[in-house]
A and B are shown apart, each in its own frame.
Chain A
Amino acid sequence: MLVEIYYSPYCPHCRGARDTVDRTLASLGLTATVEERNVLDHLDAAVAAGVRMTPSLAVNGRVAVAGPFDPDRVAAALRDGDR
Chain B
Amino acid sequence: MKGLHIGEAARRCGSSTDTLRYYERIGLLPPPGRDAGGRRVYSERDLGRLRFIRRAQSVGFTLDEIGNLLRFRENPARASREVRSLAMRKHDEVRETLTTLQQVETELALLVRLCPGDGDECPILEQLDQQT
Scoring B residues 91 to 132 as 1 if CB is less than 8 Å from chain A, else 0, what string do you get? 000000000000100110110011000000001100110010
Q: Please tell me if A3 contacts chain B, counting CB pairs below 8 Å.
A: no
Q: Does B123 contact A51, Cβ atoms closer than 8 Å?
A: no
Scoring A residues 35 to 56 as 1 if CB is less than 8 Å from chain B, else 0, what string do you get? 0000110010011101111100
Q: Please tell me if A8 contacts chain B, counting CB pairs below 8 Å.
A: yes
Q: Which residues of the partner chain B approach A9 to less than 8 Å between Cβ atoms? A: 123-124, 127
Query: Considering the complex, which residues of chain A in the window 26-79 have a beta carbon less than 8 Å from any beta carbon of chain B?
Result: 39-40, 43, 46-48, 50-54
Q: Which residues of the partner chain B approach A40 to less than 8 Å between Cβ atoms? A: 124, 127-128, 131
Q: Does B110 contact A53, Cβ atoms closer than 8 Å?
A: yes
If A8-B124, A9-B123, A9-B127 touch, whether A39 touches B114 (CB-CB below 8 Å) is yes
Q: Which residues of the partner chain B approach A53 to less than 8 Å between Cβ atoms? A: 109-110, 113
If A8-B114, A39-B114, A40-B131 touch, whether A51 touches B124 (CB-CB below 8 Å) is no
Q: Does A10 contact B107, Cβ atoms closer than 8 Å?
A: no
| Interface footprint category on A | 10 to 19
Please name the residue on chain B nearest to A9 by beta carbon: B124
Q: Which residues of the partner chain B approach A48 to less than 8 Å between Cβ atoms? A: 103
Q: Does B103 contact A47, Cβ atoms closer than 8 Å?
A: yes
Please name the residue on chain A nearest to B109 by beta carbon: A52
Q: Does A10 contact B124, Cβ atoms closer than 8 Å?
A: yes
Please name the residue on chain B nearest to A50 by beta carbon: B106
Please name the residue on chain A nearest to B103 by beta carbon: A47
* Chain B residues with a Cβ under 8 A of chain A: 103, 106-107, 109-110, 113-114, 123-124, 127-128, 131
Could you name 20 residue pairs across A and B whose Cβ atoms are closer than 8 Å? Answer: A8-B124, A9-B123, A10-B123, A10-B124, A11-B114, A39-B110, A39-B114, A40-B127, A40-B128, A43-B110, A43-B128, A46-B110, A47-B103, A47-B106, A47-B107, A47-B110, A50-B106, A52-B109, A53-B109, A53-B113
